[in-house]
Each structure stands twice: as C-alpha cells, then as structure tokens.
Structure 1
Amino acid sequence: MMSNQSLSSDQYCDQSKDDYPQHLDKPEEACGVFGIYAPEQDVAKLTYFGLFALQHRGQESSGIATFDDKQLHVYKDMGLVSQVFNEEILDQLPGQIAVGHNRYSTTGSSHIANAQPAVVETPLGPLALAHNGNLVNTIQLRDDLLKHNSNLMTTTDSELIALGIAAEVNHGKGWLEAAMSAFQSCQGAFSLVIGTPDGLMGVRDPNGIRPLVIGTLGGNSGGYVLASETCGLDIIGADYLRDVEPGELVWINDEGIASFDWSQKPERKVCIFEMIYFARPDSIMDDQTVFSYRLRLGRQLAKESTPDADMVIAVPDSGVPAAIGFSRESGIPYGEGLIKK
C-alpha cells in the first residue's frame, strides 16, 4: 500500500514523453467522483463515506486529495474504499477541500499510476482532478500536450484534462478562465470534480452524459458537496440542491457557489445506461428514484412482450426492480434464481 503523500505535485511530473505508453487506457465510463468544500468539517472522512456510497461505480482503485490552504495531501491505492483507507490514513489528510475518486474496473491496464485524483502542479498551486467519463479525442490531446513539452505520467484521458488546464494556467490565466479554455478542446463525456488551493469546481460536458449533483451541508458550519449520485449526499447527511447542468461549471469557495456556462451549445443527452445499470437504485435522477424508473421499464416490457413463463428471475442487482415491475404487470410470479456472491 502506498504511504501517505503530502505533495507538491511536481513529484508526479518526472516521466519523459519517450516513456509514455503509445496506447491510452481503456474507457472508465462509470467511475465515481466526490468533492467537498467544508472548512469546519473533517473533509477526508466525509469524502471516505461519500466514496463508500459510490463504490458501485468503481472497484479498481480509490483515492482522496485534500487541500489544507496551499498544501496538498494525497492518498490513493488499488482496491475498494474500505481496503484503501483507515482511520490513521484519513487523519493524515487535513484540509478544507477534498476530492475523491473510485475507478471503474475495465479490461484496460490496472496500475496504481492510473488511480485518481490526477494531480498536476501549476503556477497557481497544485490541482487535483477526478473524472467520470470518456474522452473521444485523446490522441489529439496527447499530441498537442507533448508538442508543448507536457510531462505525461499515466495512460488515462483524465490526466490530459488536468494537464490541459495547467497549460492554460501557464499562459497566465486564472483557475476559471484556464479551465473553461481547456474544456473547449475536450470531446466526449466528462463529469469532473477539481480541487485547487482556492476553491472547488464541478463540471459537466455539454451533453451531460455522466451525472453530477450538488448538495449542501446543514448546521452552522455549512459547506457544499459534489457527487456522481445523490446517494453520495445521503450518506453524509447533505441535502440535494440541484444537478450541475450540461455545459456548466460551478465554482465553490469562501464566497459561496457561482455558476458559469462554459459551452455555447449545451444539449442534454444523458447516457441511458445510468438509468438501466450504472446508478444505485436509491439515487434520484430526473426527479425520480432510479428504482421507480427501472420498475416502469419492467412494466413496459411486460406490456410489449409477455412470454409463456413460470417465473420472473432478475440478474442481480440492477435487474431486480425491472423484474419486479415485469412480474407485477404480467402476473407471473417473481422469484430469486441467481445469488450475487
């Protein structure tokens, strides 16, 4: 297991472009991302619980980065959230801002170097980025960055986004201008949580392909939370505020939350697999629980095609609500025939 790292993130940038793999890693469409701005809270432990609730979105690796003023602390490793972190490790991640990530296990390379958050150094300080999605122009982005002598450390498209922002900061831009400028070069699906020493960003691509929600922490301390799904808010007692809209960037700091439309042509095109498979049944999407949506899918399927069958059996766990809906509509009994180990 990796030791806890209190970093200036130039420690990540010691690999030459000649050492960089020729083929980027496989897509990680269903990763879980989490971010929190809460100066009066233990942000590392809250992020741990948020990632625990989002474990279904990624089981390959887990990581948390915290910002204690200008100091960045990072810990990430292969495995489930409960395997990667313990009390001792979380106590070594102080700060007011935290970014967390669960990586989706794919057929691509499985290395600690690809665990997130991705961290890069900039003239404004370190940046920590957690990404859910898949860019479709990674080769072009990679080539452009290498032309400008960027140091590539991983085989993920997520690092390319972080390096793109850093490159814009290197040209004298502030965090927001740099980020919105870098996003113009990104094509595909990306829901991002980005931590900086000065604030926390939440971003969705112009189509909002992957989900990202905003929550608020109650009490006197207050604070804001970003998560892939509302179940990541529920577990820490945060209240759902709204979704981050397609093509929107939200900026959270000591002045509150501000919204910026960085895309000129946002058009909502949410991935249907979120509703069918990826998302947890108790999460809320489009003002309805995912469970109720899948239940109606099963009812509709029974209306369109009812076979001569003795029992409706689900493939656990995402298929259970649809199977129940199919059973209720068709009158065919529901039963368990498969057990998830």
Structure 2
Amino acid sequence: MSVKDHCGIFGIFNAPDAARHIYYGLHALQHRGQESSGIVTSTTDSDTGAPVMPVHRDFGLVLDVFDDPKLFDDHLIGDAGIGHNRYSTTGSSQNRANIQPLVVHHRKGNLALAHNGNLSNARELRKSFSERGTLFQTTSDSELILHLTAQSRRQKHLNQVIDALMQVEGAFSLVLLTDEHLIAVRDPNGFRPLALGRLGDPDQAGGAAYCVASETCAFDMIGAEFVRDIRPGEILVIDREGCANGGDFQSYEIPTNFGVSQCIFEYVYFSRPDSKIFGEMVDKVRRRLGVELAREAPVPEVDDDAKTPIVIPVPDSANTATLGYANECAEQGYRCRFELGLIRNHYVGRTFIAPGQDRREMKVRCKFNTVEGLLQDRTVIVLDDSIVRGTTARHLIKMLRDSGASSVHFRVSCPPVTHPCFYGMDFPNKEELLANQFDSVEEIGEWLGVDSLAYLSAEGMKRAVYGANSNNTQGYCAACFTGNYPVPVNMDASKDENEMWAPATAEAA
C-alpha cells in the first residue's frame, strides 16, 4: 500500500486540563499522520492577564513529542485547545515550519489552525498574496487561511475567519481556535470526516465540554459522547454561552456549486473500523465490501482431499473486510475458513508514511511475518483493502510462497486505483500507479506473482457503501478510481512546489 495518509485533527472547549484530552485524542488518531504532532491551548498570561496561546509541536509520534509531563502542568494550560497529527500533502515533510497547529497573533487577537485536506485553489491564492508582498512562514496551503483572515476587512475576529473560509476551495476539515471560540469547519463537499462530541453533563455548572475530531474513536479515548457529524459546508462556532445552554451553538454555511462528495476511501482504508464517519460505522461498511467481493470473486474450489483453503487479511485495515468475505464465501457453500496467516509488527508505522520509496520498502520487510505451519501446502486467499504501487503486495506474495503456500490468490476490496487524489491524500502520480502500468488485471496478477487476482467492481463498492449506510443519501468522491474529480483541481500540483521559497531552518515552537 503506497497511498499516504492525510492528517488527524482534534479540538476541545470548556474542558479543564484541555491539553491532556487533546493528547489522548491525538493518540487515537495517530494512524492518520505520523510525521509530526502538535498541541496549542488558549489561556491568559499570569502577569499581564492578556490572552495567550502556548504551543508545543515537533517531528515524531504523539508519545514522543509529548513525553515530558511538565508540558501539561506548566506550559499547555487552559480549558480550550486544538491538536494535529500530520502527514504532509502540501508542503515538505522536512520543513519544521509546516508542523501544525499554526499559530499567529494579529490585530484582533490570537488564532490557531489545524487542517486536514488540500485547498484546490491554493496556487491561485498564494500567487495573489505574493504579488501583494505577503511574507510566508510555511510552504503549507493551510497558512493561506490565516492570511485571508488577517487581511479581511471585516471588523470582528469571528467574521474575519468566516470571510476567509468563504474564499477557499477544495478539501478542508478544520479546527480553529480564537481567544473566545473553537471553530469546526467542513468543506461544502464534505470530503473529509469531522465529528462533534460532548464530554460531561450539559446540566453541570458552565455546561459540558465539547470536542471535534476527525474520527469518533478519539471521543471513545476520552470518554466523550458522539453528538453528530459536522455537516458539509458547516462552520460551527463553539463558545461558552453555547456550552452553558446545552450545546446551542451558532452555525454558518459555506455555499457550494458542486454538491456533496465524501471520500469513499475513508471507508475503504483510512479510518479506524471502530470509528463512525459519514453517519455509519466503518466496520459495518468494510464487512459489506468483503461480502460484495465474495459474490463477485469467491474462493477457488479445491479437490476434496486438499487442505481447506484459508482466507487471510493483510493486517490491520483489511481485517474486517476479510471477515465479511470469508463468511459470505462460506454462506455460498465454498470450503474455506478465516485465519491470521500474516502477523504484523505494530511497532512499525504504516509503510507508506515514510517518504521515499527505498525507506518504504525497508519498512515492508520489517512490518510483516508469516505463520509457516499454517500456510504449508495450503491454498491461500489473501485480501487487502487496495493496491496502489504494488510494492507491499508483491513482497507479501513472495513471503507466502516461501512459507509453503501451494497457491496464492489475491483479492482487493476496492476497484483499481487509477488516478491521484488532490483532496487531502498524497497519492503517487498517475504513471506510478500499478493499475496504469498494465493493460489488464491478469497482467497485474502475473507481475505480482499470484495464481489469480480480482478487484471489487465500482458497482460492488457502491452497493456495499450505500447498503451499509442507507441513511446517508449524500454523494461520495471516487475520483481515485474513476478520474471524475468533483471539484476542479490543478493536475500538475506538487506538494513540494513551494519549497524553493521555504525558510530552511525554521524551528518548531
């Protein structure tokens, strides 16, 4: 698997010890970004009484960046804050200035931002700012929102933020922190998930705390209750008055010309199976993906005297789809059983998180091992959620054959990935995608070294998603499978295209 994840964002308001809640929320969202992590809180200076936003951020995992308990006791104080786990999709992964949350101070007070997604009009906006002499501190498209806010002609700080959000396009789920508000934003297309949660009793003094997160698994970590999704195009303003009034917050709407197109790949791969996104549990959708795949490409039949074929997942993101596949094959009368034939080393991050092909291949070798006794002389059906470059799949197939499998059949619970994403995922370019390097699925299978290869059809994927999430009638983006981009994009955009202008030695706070 070589699609690079995007980012995880978390924010909380009206919660004593906010930074610790954010820390645990980011820990639950670690799978969404492993390059860097950061937290900023809102409090008042003990000497001047002025509002301030202390911040701590650095390269690395949450557990490594926040390994000093004194950070939470002495520095990251306050009852409101936001946090971010990053995988770079715009702006170099090596530039410290790009680590989020981004924090600025301007004439209306402090403002911090954490962003998941990509702005499709970033190049146009950056050029306009550059021509007016604007100085940039980062090479990330997220900074553009801060400049739009600072240069807004509106008088109130909140109105300046809203004015800025009306001018950006593309994929953006955001949490913004002002001295008085926590603002949750989801782009009108609803590409990326964002949910609202509640921590504590609404009837308690001052009301409950409210939080927002990329996935609801972050709420589970801190004991918060899922309230609802942030709606596509919604700007939800969380303040103390609303907390005291049982969550009665002001909400604004960003107009759209393109309709709703939620990222279907969130269900296929990115989100944790214990999260609820776009109105449905990821686990339920993935099982349905496996069921549809079993109906289209069941396990091969074997001789009566042969060992029972085993169906194994590529752990961990394919686990639940494989359960659905194996159960449906058994229901149809095919002889098979679910097994764990590949063991994952959980102390190695997702292989595609490491930028650079050579580092990615090294992580594949470290990440998986086989259960040889289980595989010996066995027909093995291995199921993965997707194939992008094919590096991981090809290596795993060789491992299975070396461990004694008599035949290896590969099943994929989504269609072939044929186009890059410009909405918050860092895909390889079109030429690097495996499906574009061959003329047929059979040729791909020969290159991978399998006895058979089958992908879930686009129709089967839609049946699975809509069948599992029947209450959600809004549309989905499947551009990586179809090339039909719901919002216009710069096809030649590169995440490092601004690096020649980068402040090379910028330090993280």
Alignment check: 8 A CA contact 2:112 2:177 kept: yes
Alignment check: 8 A CA contact 2:115 2:142 kept: yes
Cα offset, 1:338, TM superposition: 2.0
Q: Higher Cα Rg: structure 1 or 2?
A: 2
Residue of structure 2 in register with 1:302 after alignment: 294
> Judging changes above 3 Å, is the alpha-carbon distance between structure 1 residues 197 and 101 closer, same or farther for their aligned structure 2 residues?
same
Aligned-partner residue type, residue 170 of structure 2: G
Tell me which of 277, 284, 307 is aligned to 2:276.
284
Q: Deviations over 1:115-143 (max 9, x none)?
A: 10012222111210000001122211111
> Judging changes above 3 Å, is the alpha-carbon distance between structure 1 residues 28 and 263 closer, same or farther for their aligned structure 2 residues?
farther
Residue of structure 1 in register with 2:360 after alignment: none
**1:99 matches 2:82:** yes
Identify which range, 90-99 or 273-282, moves more after superposition.
Answer: 90-99
Residue of structure 2 in register with 1:74 after alignment: 55
Counterpart-to-counterpart distance in 1, 2:260 and 2:144: 24
Counterpart-to-counterpart distance in 1, 2:5 and 2:192: 8
Counterpart-to-counterpart distance in 1, 2:112 and 2:250: 20
Q: Deviations over 1:178-225 (max 9, x none)?
A: 222212321210000000111110001010100100011113251110
TM-score w.r.t. length of structure 1: 0.87
Counterpart-to-counterpart distance in 2, 1:49 and 1:165: 30
Q: Deviations over 1:1-24 (max 9, x none)?
A: xxxxxxxxxxxxxxxxxxxxxxxx
Cα offset, 1:163, TM superposition: 1.8
Aligned-partner residue type, residue 119 of structure 1: V
Counterpart-to-counterpart distance in 2, 1:217 and 1:109: 34
Residue of structure 2 in register with 1:245 after alignment: 231
Tell me which of 206, 210, 213 is aligned to 1:224.
210
Counterpart-to-counterpart distance in 1, 2:166 and 2:222: 34
**1:206 matches 2:192:** no
Counterpart-to-counterpart distance in 2, 1:72 and 1:108: 25
Alignment check: 8 A CA contact 2:92 2:98 kept: no
Q: Deviations over 1:302-339 (max 9, x none)?
A: 01111416221211111110011100001221122222
Counterpart-to-counterpart distance in 2, 1:244 and 1:226: 9
Residue of structure 1 in register with 2:113 after alignment: 129
Cα offset, 1:166, TM superposition: 1.8
**1:36 matches 2:12:** yes
Alignment check: 8 A CA contact 2:184 2:235 kept: yes
Aligned-partner residue type, residue 330 of structure 1: C
TM-score w.r.t. length of structure 2: 0.59
Cα offset, 1:114, TM superposition: 1.1
For 1:248-267, what aligned pairs fall within 5 Å after superposition? 248-256=234-242, 257-265=249-257, 267=259
Residue of structure 2 in register with 1:45 after alignment: 20
Identify which range, 217-226 or 71-80, moves more after superposition.
Answer: 217-226
Residue of structure 2 in register with 1:114 after alignment: 98
Identify which range, 272-281 or 217-226, moves more after superposition.
Answer: 217-226
Cα offset, 1:149, TM superposition: 2.9
Tell me which of 138, 144, 159 is aligned to 1:154.
138
Let me know the Cα RMSD of the aligned residues.
1.9
> Judging changes above 3 Å, is the alpha-carbon distance between structure 1 residues 329 and 293 closer, same or farther for their aligned structure 2 residues?
same
Alignment check: 8 A CA contact 1:44 1:93 kept: yes
Residue of structure 1 in register with 2:29 after alignment: 54
> Judging changes above 3 Å, is the alpha-carbon distance between structure 1 residues 193 and 36 closer, same or farther for their aligned structure 2 residues?
same
Over the matched positions of the two proteins, sequence identity in percent amounts to 45
Alignment check: 8 A CA contact 1:246 1:267 kept: no
Alignment check: 8 A CA contact 1:145 1:164 kept: no
Counterpart-to-counterpart distance in 2, 1:290 and 1:264: 27
Alignment check: 8 A CA contact 1:28 1:132 kept: no
Aligned-partner residue type, residue 318 of structure 2: G
Residue of structure 2 in register with 1:312 after alignment: 311
- Secondary structure, in 3 states, of the residue corresponding to 2:11? strand
Counterpart-to-counterpart distance in 2, 1:42 and 1:279: 27
Cα offset, 1:28, TM superposition: 7.4
Residue of structure 1 in register with 2:148 after alignment: 164
Cα offset, 1:93, TM superposition: 0.7
Residue of structure 1 in register with 2:453 after alignment: none
Counterpart-to-counterpart distance in 2, 1:175 and 1:144: 23
- Secondary structure, in 3 states, of the residue corresponding to 2:158? helix
Counterpart-to-counterpart distance in 1, 2:78 and 2:131: 36
Unaligned runs of 5+ in 2: 45-50, 243-248, 302-308, 331-335, 346-509
Identify which range, 250-259 or 218-227, moves more after superposition.
Answer: 218-227
Runs of 4+ in 1 over 6 A off after TM superposition: none
> Judging changes above 3 Å, is the alpha-carbon distance between structure 1 residues 211 and 43 closer, same or farther for their aligned structure 2 residues?
same
- Secondary structure, in 3 states, of the residue corresponding to 1:276? helix
Cα offset, 1:286, TM superposition: 3.7
